[in-house]
Chains A and B, each alone.
Chain A
Amino acid sequence: MKFHSTCDGVRRRDMLKAGVLTVGGLSLSNYMQMANAGQIQPGRADRAIFIELSGGPSHLDMFDMKPDAPEEIRGAFKPISTNVSGIQISEHLPKLAGCADKYAILRGVSHTLAAHQLGREYVNTGSKPLPSLEYPGYGSVLSKERPSDADIPSQVAIPRAGHGPGFLGIRYAALETNSAPQLGQPYSVRGISLAGGIGVDEVKRRQGLLKKLDRRFAELEKDDQLLEGLDQFGEQAYSMITSSRARDAFDISKEPESFAKQFGEDSFGQSCLLAMRLVESGVRLVSVQLGGWDTHQDNFKKLKTSNLPKLDAGLSGLLIGLEQRGLLDSTAVFVTGEFGRTPKINNRSADGGRDHYPRCMFMLMAGGAVRGGQVIGESDATAAGPLHEGFSPDDVAASFYYNLGIDPTLEYDSNTGRPITLVRNGNVIKSLFV
């Protein structure tokens, strides 16, 4: 048996590595069972959608408006009331204003990393990045703790993952779609959709040939975990490729047009629709990217004409859609960028811009045990920092895990055997939950 010694003196069995069996060792299926058990506590949500607004969305112009601040700070947009009394958001988010009861707004979230890459790593893991160790993204942790069925991937990223599996290893990487779906269009996904003009029948016939020819090591198989593992993953791949479940889940054209349109007709909205279909069919975590928030120049024009309408339609469509399908209670939703933007508007462009600003930002949480229709935390008069103690990305990540029934203080061993706390410095924000 192959061991990885760990700093805590526990020797971790690395069963799937080549070269790992000795007399009486655990069989692969034992191992799978052990792994499948995970370290789960009961929670309300058992799946998740993570929406990353990469570039750094301007909190002041969206969910943390300061209409009483001086003009060079409050900007061009006006607040509007939402369907929850006392909560106001930007006038360019009317649909989200109409369903504010479904999500909680976190204001005054604060950190210190003003570079895109570092900030993204931070909000994608809930732990401040270290050069010597890469923390796993939420989806990888969820894939490990709550594995999905064989014929459906446990983690999907649309179009690409904002963060990898870190020290958990490639086994827990996301299936990346590499493209975003378009309204009403057939949609193909790397590895899942059949390409090259080959139909399911042909795949089945090929598989038959493979089975007949792949017999050289049949005799050795029962004693060799590598061979057994190759076989098992081969079977799983085959069932995923040939079963209609995964393919159907990816096929957004199966939704009625009227339903699909409520998500907005652009690719972000349709990505949200796809995310909903995927969690519905058993995918554990779907991440969706919406970029374009790095508005150093022409902040207001860009937000008004492009970013805010997309987010407004896509996210409201998603929350309403999840509720209509009865999925909102079991799906934890988390929306965040890597930082906020400077309160003071710069004059480098005619329309004004805002620069990177990690000291104050907003995040959104919904689904599972989260109580919607509330604002948690508060920023100061110019949205330049949290008014009181504020929250860190660690706290929000800890809450996200908590909502998913995963203990945020769970200790893992890194690939070099160091004990690592899942969320190093976070405290669950209790007021988020019912």
Chain B
Amino acid sequence: MIRIGTKPTFCIVVAMCVLLLGQLGAPVSAEPAKISTPKPTDTNTKTLAPLRERFQSADVTEAPDFQKHVVPLLGRLGCNGRACHGSFQGRGGFQLSLFGYDFKSDHAALHEENCGRVDVDDIDESLILVKPLDADMHDGGKRFDKGSWQHHVLRKWIASGAEFNPNKMHLLEKLEVIPTEISFSKQRETVQLTATAHWQDGTMEDVTQLCRFSTNDESIAAIDELGEVTSGEKGDTHVVVYYDNAVVPIPVLRPIGPKRYAASEATTAIDRLVLEKLDKLGVAPSDVCTDAEFLRRVSLDMTGVLPAADFVREFLADTSPNKRATLVDELLDSPAYAAWWATRMSDWTGNSDAQLNNALPVRGAASRLWHEWLRVRIDQNMPYDQIVQGIVEAKSRQEGESYLEYCEAMTEACQRGNENLFAERDGLPLYWARRNFQKPEDRAIGFAYAFLGVRIECAQCHKHPFDRWSKNDFDKFSKLFTTVRASQNGIGADAKEQRNELIKQVTDGKKLDNGELRRAIYRAAAQGETVPFGELFVVKQRTVNKTLLEKRKKLIAKAKQNGKKVAPLPIPSGHILGESTAVPLSTDPRPALMQWLRSETNPFFAKAIVNRVWANYFGIGIVDPTDDMNMANPPSNTPLLDFLAKQFIHQKFDLKWLHREIVLSATYQRSAEPNETNRHDRVNFARHVPRRLPAEVVYDAVVLATGSDDKASQLRNEVDQMAIAEGLAQNRNKRDFAMEVFGQSIRESNCDCDRSDSPSLLQAIYLRNDADMHRRLSSDDGWVAQACESLGVDAPSNRIDPKKVATLRAANGLRKQILTKVRQFNQIPKVRQANTMPKVQREYQRAKSKFNQFGFDIPPLKKLLTNPNSWQKVELAKQDSEKATMTIDAVIEEAYMRTLSRFPDREETAIATDYIDTSTSKSDAVQSLLWALVNTKEFIITH
């Protein structure tokens, strides 16, 4: 009986047929698949033959081993799959551990009293033999034949006493899989994998028939339950072999075109590494994108801001050869860069307003403070490891600060507009104070997600199916987080008195219940009174539970009578993930954790951030999903990820270096136009793959595209009111509708998928017909109104030319930026000034050329350095408010520039002109044009 679909199809009848075919002769292939087969590691030791051979006959003397044979066989037969007995509820009252790594509980389940699953006295009546032999009795159908080797293995194990000793586990040293790499040349070629287990005691065994197999892309390489790989479409992927706690990925590749030799011509390391892979695959990359495409793409990706129409014109007209590099520097120095990346890093670190509810005695402040704390550091380009250190080792109080001083400082920082005061503090204890980050297990999961890009949650209940983590690894790691306390009312031991004093002031000495007290504190804080804050503290040792303590007391008393001593309690400890040395919990374990994170040998820390930043620019990580680095999910380009991570550490975790390195590569600057070889490639970075803009970026892009020049320039220069800067006014407990619909991250479930870039129906309805959209298109300070005025249609009179206002605002924004830099420069020690000087000069030169374009003067740099205050705000010269006029063509061009960041082509201009000409109302027609452009796919995706 063959089952297809929801249940596993491990039907032994089929399996036997395939085996038989294999013996009769595999499908003949003219060009056999190329396989890499290393020499066997140890030719002296004999490898045990597979169970199939050893258990051919019923009267074999060998007794199978529960760990090595029985549990893996149950896995192969499909018994412990999720659809069967591996399900949380079990099936038919019988539950096995998912994937069979919990040998102890599986053994217990098989021996459960009166269940009859294993009967050593009446072997053949054991249900684990009866059921799988008989399709009628077993919901899971027939799993093997009477007299088959599988039958013999299980039967023999029962006959030998059905034993398992949890104290004598075998240690698997390595699972050797041959071949180590597969290269196919056409469809339907096959290669059989063989897997040999190397046990620590020196024994080796062919376990191919006991392994679990999976493929990472079925369309390229299929793999059956016997480990035979069949080629499919062209491309590359991995098949994965699992046995015991080993997970071994085997790369499979079927070239798309003839081998190429382009890598040697690469000019950057990234390009060389990407091309090496593409050469192997026979894929030619797309050409370099146009200036217009580059400008739009890099502006949106790096700063989340749609470039202004005039800025596009300027960039396109610029003839300097290195204008792309100059643009990148300019973007990296812009306030939007820091704001947007603080938002992205807020995603990864879990800055969730809902989870921070009650973390501070001032409502709605926590999330703002968190963002600002990150923003300031990213703006200063603080090395990534130092930013993380501020989070991981966070303390609530500054060095030498008393509890009272801390409360005073925090009360002040929580007032709207004072976020910078919080940003000046060393640590971000809010990270530890979230509601979903209190239990040690939740912390282990959240920490691994945020800083390691690893999902360990599976190991909370069972062996991680795709990685080496066992439940034990998980438990030991989560122990590390038991001693850190961060709650609303928790305070250090020295703070009690001062806290009581503060509470007394707030309540006038009245006794209030918890809810009333909280409300009284909210009220007092709102009036600017100093209120008590909770603080993060580390208990020195985990408190031993009471019964244990009682027992111990008795023990000590008894020992005393006998004149003996009781050995001291062992100091509780935890383990850093995957490390064997214990970290004692007698002191704060977090510095040790941080030291491990930033060490050069850390396998995850640098890779996780490098991969996330990369994914931001390519829509897909080198490891993807970006938060799921595991053994079964290897990088699509290992040398590339290794190079970036290593260099990033070498560059002292310099984030701007990383951004620059990526966007100035030819790889980032590929056109979206595919060629025959890269048309279907999405994982090897051979062309630009369009992606939908992130929620915040869409929101801002719509506002900028539909707003008047004046309004848009104000937003672009001040940034803090944009969605990318988390600047939208927010009702408590209710996120902005559009942000929700476009999939802004909820930052709650430790998953990069909390942010969604998928399209949806509600998004399409929103952009086409939401009241927000109608309002923006018809607003008085919208661009449609401005354009109509320029056309002399329905024009309200006496307005200052919004274009000039926009220029003025841009100039003043730039002035503010330069002045900040100058003041920062003046504050750093003289010795370090020489090093920073070139950068200041570079930025000054850039500002100077901008000011020349704007038609304004700028004081010499020297003067600015000696007296920054000498530079007055730029003002418009008094002019007659002449009525600006624009042709319809110019309006159409402007509409394209401000939405799609490019000139319309001739045909588009003709379509738009025709539409406007044939409309009864010009203003309605302009509105429709802008509506249509905002609703094009081109607007909402990167290209």
Contact = CB atoms under 8 A, between A and B. Distances in A.
B915 A209 contact: yes
A207 B672 CA distance: 26
Interface string A410-433: 010011111101000000000000
A171 to B, nearest CB: 5
B693 to A, nearest CB: 10
B765 A415 contact: no
Contact of A196 (B235, B778, B929): B778
B216 A3 contact: yes
A168 B760 CA distance: 13
A411 B458 CA distance: 16
B839 interface: no
A210 B940 CA distance: 14
Given A8-B98, A217-B690, A231-B937, A24 B88 contact: no
Interface in A168-207: 169-171, 173, 175-176, 190-192, 194-196, 198, 202-203, 205-206
Contacts of B774: 195-196, 198
Interface in A128-160: 131-134, 153
B436 A132 contact: yes
Given A22-B220, A223-B679, A195 B769 contact: yes
Given A1-B219, A2-B620, 6 more contacts: A11-B216, A170-B756, A190-B737, A213-B932, A223-B674, A230-B941
A216 B293 CA distance: 13
B692 interface: yes
Nearest to A171: B760
Interface in B775-833: 775, 777-778
Interface in A207-246: 209-210, 212-214, 216-217, 220, 223-224, 226-227, 229-231, 233-234, 236-238, 240-241
Interface string B929-943: 101110111101101
Interface residues of B, number: 97
A419 B88 contact: yes
A229 B941 CA distance: 12
Contact of A227 (B88, B465, B932, B941): B941
B749 A237 contact: no
Nearest to A166: B749
A339 B777 CA distance: 46
A224 B690 contact: yes
Interface of B: 81-82, 86-89, 98-99, 212, 214, 216-220, 232-235, 355, 435-436, 438, 442, 445, 455, 457-458, 461-462, 465-466, 619-620, 624-625, 628, 630, 632-633, 672, 674, 679-683, 689-692, 737, 740-741, 743, 748-751, 753-754, 756-766, 768-771, 774-775, 777-778, 908, 911-912, 915, 924, 928-929, 931-933, 935-938, 940-941, 943
Most chain-A Cβ atoms within 10 A of its Cβ — which of B219, B466, B763, B937?
B937
Contacts of B624: 2, 19
A8 B756 CA distance: 23
A381 interface: no
A175 B219 contact: no
B235 A23 contact: yes
Contact of A191 (B212, B458, B762): B762
B882 to A, nearest CB: 32
B668 to A, nearest CB: 15
A191 B82 contact: no
A209 B749 contact: no
A80 interface: no
A411 B620 contact: no
A216 B765 CA distance: 22
A417 B692 contact: no
A87 interface: no
B748 A18 contact: no
B296 to A, nearest CB: 12
A42 interface: no
B769 A210 contact: no
A76 B185 CA distance: 85
Given A9-B99, A20-B682, A210 B761 contact: no
Contacts of A262: none
A267 interface: no
A7 B931 CA distance: 44
The 10 closest A-B pairs by CB, nearest first: A196-B774, A23-B233, A237-B764, A8-B82, A18-B691, A131-B436, A191-B765, A9-B465, A24-B219, A7-B458
A236 B679 CA distance: 28
Interface in A1-47: 1-5, 7-11, 16-25
B680 A21 contact: yes
Contact of B220 (A18, A23, A134): A23
Contact of B750 (A17, A25, A132, A231): A132
A346 interface: no
B465 A1 contact: no
B759 A5 contact: no
B522 to A, nearest CB: 17
Contacts of B632: 5
A430 B771 CA distance: 46
A22 B219 contact: yes
B101 to A, nearest CB: 12
6 contacts: A22-B233, A22-B680, A131-B436, A167-B749, A229-B758, A418-B457
A85 B674 CA distance: 75
Contact of A226 (B438, B466, B679, B691): B691
Contacts of A236: 761, 764
Contact of A238 (B86, B235, B445, B768): B768
Contacts of A231: 937
Contacts of A7: 98, 457-458, 461-462, 465
A5 B751 CA distance: 12
Nearest to B695: A170
Interface string A371-407: 0000000000000000000000000000000000000
Nearest to A23: B233
A54 to B, nearest CB: 13
A5 B633 contact: yes
B750 A416 contact: yes
A281 interface: no
A233 B770 contact: no
B82 A419 contact: yes
A417 to B, nearest CB: 7
B186 to A, nearest CB: 14
B310 to A, nearest CB: 23
Nearest to A131: B436
A409 interface: yes
A417 B458 contact: yes
Nearest to A17: B758
A119 B741 CA distance: 25
A216 B82 contact: no
Nearest to B627: A416
A173 B735 CA distance: 14
A217 B766 CA distance: 22
A203 B778 CA distance: 15
A416 B753 CA distance: 8
A19 B216 CA distance: 15
Max chain B C-beta neighbours (<10 A), residue from A131, A223, A418: A131
A223 B765 contact: no
A158 B689 CA distance: 40
Given A192-B769, A213-B936, A214-B938, A22 B754 contact: no
Contact of B935 (A5, A194, A210, A414): A210
Contacts of B761: 153, 171, 233, 236-237, 240
Contacts of B759: 16, 226, 229-230, 233
Residue from the set B87, B219, B760, B766 with the largest chain A CB neighbour count within 10 Å = B760
Contacts of A4: 625, 628, 753
A213 B741 contact: no
Residue among A22, A25, A196, A210 with max Cβ neighbours from chain B (10 Å): A22
A425 to B, nearest CB: 11
Contacts of A214: 932, 935-938
A424 B677 CA distance: 49
Given A18-B690, A170-B743, A213-B912, A24 B768 contact: no
